[in-house]
Structure 1
Amino acid sequence: MKVNLNPAKGMRDFTPQEKEIRDYVENVIVSTYKQSGFNLIETPVVENIENLIGSKGGENLKLIFKILKRGEKLDFSKTDICEDDLADLGLRYDLTIPLSRFYCKNQSNLPSVFKALQVGNVFRAERAQKGRYRSFKQCDIDIIGDGSSAAELELITTTAKALTALNVTDFVVRFNDRRVLKAVILNCGFLDNEFDSVCIIVDKLDKIGMSGVESELKGKNYNEECISKLMDALENISKNGTRCLSSYSVPEDVISDVEKIMNDVKDYANGKYDIEFDFTLIRGMGYYTGSIFEIAYKNLGYSIAGGGRYDEMVGNFIGQQIPAIGFSIGFERLVNQLIEEKFKVPNLEKVVLLFEKSDSYINVMKKADELRSQGYTVSVYEKSKKLGKQLNQFDGYGFSKYAVFSGDDTEVKSLS
């Protein structure tokens, strides 16, 4: 039987060089978050299916990897079986739902304001293509139990701190609020039950332009006057920002919240990065209730981090009102971009120590340990007859230096 050597569709293998960068980036992010007071937790990749499908996860609910029931629970003898009869578990599509369940289960043993850090793989049955994977890593920080704007400020500034620690500096925070979106869209005459559908279309503005948005809205047979008012609103708000929001019935306290958060972030950033109001920022998750934000990096056509306030999700598990907010770094997008920019792990001196067959291997190992004690990362290999070709190979493997074993006279040299 012919074996398919490719990973499953939408999944990936990683070379040693890629894994080296991935581990470094993850360690920097985690250490920055932990230093900022966030507590590392871990949750299972498998969740009860009812938690996933009841989570208001937008389009992601169509992308859940469902797990078949097992043993006697899997009964095909029944008539009129549907998909939901066959599955009782699923792979998590983000880290927010597992965190919400975790918090409710462990609430009595956690601080009243819990600052959580999670890193792990999530799974979505996406149409596999470049830059979109079915398994990918997320790095989340969340604050549960704080309904004030202090939570927004801490998440945004801490995420920015993690990025700058990786020398990612050319970025801007895009900021909006679901309460602003709803007020404006309803003010234009759309009905409450049309809000989500209108948002999905407006979210495409950067891809299809104003004419494309107008065309799609008309294709949904919405009221022509409502569409016209919304198109005018999009133009007006893009030019004037928060200054014109009150004319669309956005509550003054909401406008004040938005402006305060943005001004405070600008003050904290001190020119290192910027934050701007973007009314067309939607965020696809239906569970967002207030502030939503993303980080745009350089001229990429996608964000490298995103999040928002989800004040209803946690409480839904136990019937309480519990404020919550989170920010997730798009780990794969960030790493892919760093690799494309020829990112090198700093302060990593990788040395290959070469030896002859006639050398005492124990002495070679002792010399390797001696070099390691000097701060080098050392790999030991037998010396090839064609040394130049061998060194070129190790240069391609990410080694920066080499040494040929010769006892006390062993000398570390640069590969370049």
Structure 2
Amino acid sequence: MPLKKKPVTGMKDILPAEMQVRDYVTGLIKETYKSFGFSPIETPCVEHIENLCSKQGGDNEKLIFKIMKRGEKLNLETAQSEADLTDSGLRYDLTVPLSRFYSNNANDLPTPFKALQMGSVWRADRPQRGRFRQFVQCDIDILGEPTCLAEIELILATTTLLGKLNFKDFKVRINERRILKAMASYSGFTEDQYDQVFIILDKMDKIGWDGVKAELIESGYPEANVEKYVTMFDEMEKAEDALAYLSEKLSGVLEEDVIENLRTIRTSVEATAASKFQLVFDPTLVRGMSYYTGTIFEIEMAEFGSSVAGGGRYDKMIGKFTGKDTPACGFSIGFERIITILMEQNFQVPGTSGKKAFLIEKNMPAEKLCEVLKEAKAEREAGAQVLVALMNKNKKFQKEQLSKEGYTEFKEFFCR
């Protein structure tokens, strides 16, 4: 039986043309984020299963690629549960590993600590456009900063990067988990019901308000509570200032600094942004991760039809490792989605138009071959990118293939 040449479902091979774009974007990400003071770090792709299954990752915990125990620790005959078989798994995001990293190395890091992390993550998800089972995430996080300066810096850094990639007129949606909880509390829902209520609210874009209302009632929640909850969103939409409406409506329920923080974020970002985008307050924004405790945000692009980046504040996660809560806020770019858009737009990496190909005839004498190699060396020392390759019989097809890789200049060398 022949070996399988296609990748495993949900994985993909990356051809040179795409790899060139990915390398360029990776370099631009590091350059941009370093200019904002973020320091690169790296964490292992394998994490303790207890960390991954700590009920902080929402539905992603159902998508973990789990790793079986090794050697003498693995005993299939005596195993009675999954815990007897597995002790680790592939990370499903970079936030849980970062929290463990910080907890383990905080004494050697500055406060606040601004981390930049890029790497592959794995989820046993249903593959679709821009979504794979193995994919690259790019995270920036600020640890140890309790004020909204963290959110401002994260939004400015991420939008600056997208501007450098010629994205514009995208939308940054922002909300606060404390607002979501205060609205639910005001409407009569109990704390243990919040997560389910938010899961249903998160479907609003797909099923509309009538669908949200119907599903909440079908889930067994009192109709009066549901009506009160949904009505608030309607009144907020009609209000001239949604934040002012919430400040008055939720007085005594919502913490006093929440509205002021959102106003400060919006004012600061709009006054200093380096790219063109719209920052909007969206009270229906939920974000699926259970670890979010405060501000949450997403970037939405018309080119993709959904979010391409997201993040928020998670002040309680590090405390699960250390017993002491540490302020933390992060923003993650959907790297694969950005690359998908760029490839569909036939994005050309700047500075790749001068690639040269030296095509040499077969059986060229060593003396003449050395002359060609010396010429190529001189071109490279002058800053050019030069490929030296044997000339194919079908030179036209060979040049067409090389043109797809960005080669624009061709020089042929013959034995005679």
- After TM superposition, the score normalised by the length of structure 2 is 0.93
Offset of 1:385 from its aligned partner?
4.3
Aligned-partner SS, 1:250? coil
Question: For 1:404-415, what aligned pairs fall within 5 Å after superposition?
Answer: 404-405=412-413
Alignment-derived partner of residue 363 in structure 1: 371
State the AA in 1 paired with 2:90: L
Q: Distance between the aligned counterparts of 2:114 and 2:78, measured in 1?
A: 46
Offset of 1:225 from its aligned partner?
1.1
Offset of 1:89 from its aligned partner?
0.5
The question of 1:205 aligning with 2:204 is answered yes
Alignment-derived partner of residue 160 in structure 1: 159
Alignment-derived partner of residue 73 in structure 1: 73
CA RMSD of the aligned region, Å? 1.7
Offset of 1:231 from its aligned partner?
1.7
Alignment-derived partner of residue 346 in structure 2: 342
Contact 2:160–2:274 (CA under 8 A) maintained in structure 1? no
Which moved further from structure 2: 386-395 or 191-200? 386-395
State the AA in 2 paired with 1:242: L
State the AA in 2 paired with 1:295: I
Give the one of 382, 389, 395 matched to 1:381: 389
Contact 1:238–1:279 (CA under 8 A) maintained in structure 2? no
Alignment-derived partner of residue 405 in structure 2: 397
State the AA in 1 paired with 2:396: G
Q: Distance between the aligned counterparts of 2:293 and 2:411, measured in 1?
A: 59
Give the one of 224, 244, 254 matched to 1:250: 254
Contact 1:55–1:313 (CA under 8 A) maintained in structure 2? no
Offset of 1:270 from its aligned partner?
6.8
Alignment-derived partner of residue 21 in structure 1: 21
Cα-to-partner distance string for 1:345-388 (whole Å, 9 max, x where unaligned):
01112221112234622211111122223322111122334433
Alignment-derived partner of residue 56 in structure 2: 56
Gapped regions of structure 1 (runs ≥ 5)? 408-416
Offset of 1:165 from its aligned partner?
1.8
Which moved further from structure 2: 251-260 or 59-68? 251-260
Q: Distance between the aligned counterparts of 2:38 and 2:122, measured in 1?
A: 24
Q: Distance between the aligned counterparts of 1:224 and 1:66, measured in 2?
A: 42
The question of 1:328 aligning with 2:332 is answered yes
Offset of 1:129 from its aligned partner?
2.9
Alignment-derived partner of residue 295 in structure 1: 299
State the AA in 1 paired with 2:387: S
Alignment-derived partner of residue 30 in structure 1: 30
State the AA in 2 paired with 1:402: F
Offset of 1:271 from its aligned partner?
6.9
Aligned-partner SS, 2:135? strand
Alignment-derived partner of residue 412 in structure 1: none
Q: Distance between the aligned counterparts of 2:120 and 2:340, measured in 1?
A: 16
Q: Distance between the aligned counterparts of 1:383 and 1:112, measured in 2?
A: 58
Contact 1:55–1:97 (CA under 8 A) maintained in structure 2? no
Q: Distance between the aligned counterparts of 1:367 and 1:393, measured in 2?
A: 23
Pair 239,353 (structure 1): closer, same or farther in 2 beyond 3 Å: farther
**Identity across matched positions, percent:** 47
Gapped regions of structure 2 (runs ≥ 5)? none
Contact 1:174–1:278 (CA under 8 A) maintained in structure 2? yes
State the AA in 2 paired with 1:96: T
Pair 65,389 (structure 1): closer, same or farther in 2 beyond 3 Å: closer
State the AA in 2 paired with 1:338: L
Contact 1:173–1:295 (CA under 8 A) maintained in structure 2? yes
State the AA in 2 paired with 1:320: K
Equivalences, count: 406
Question: For 1:228-243, what aligned pairs fall within 5 Å after superposition?
Answer: 228-240=227-239, 241-243=242-244
State the AA in 2 paired with 1:31: E
- After TM superposition, the score normalised by the length of structure 1 is 0.93
Question: For 1:72-221, what aligned pairs fall within 5 Å after superposition?
Answer: 72-78=72-78, 81-221=80-220
Alignment-derived partner of residue 9 in structure 2: 9
State the AA in 1 paired with 2:371: N
The question of 1:352 aligning with 2:340 is answered no
Which moved further from structure 2: 376-385 or 336-345? 376-385
Contact 1:49–1:87 (CA under 8 A) maintained in structure 2? yes
Q: Distance between the aligned counterparts of 1:37 and 1:59, measured in 2?
A: 33
Pair 65,385 (structure 1): closer, same or farther in 2 beyond 3 Å: closer
Cα-to-partner distance string for 1:226-254 (whole Å, 9 max, x where unaligned):
11122212222234321211213433321
Give the one of 308, 317, 320 matched to 1:316: 320
Which moved further from structure 2: 172-181 or 261-270? 261-270
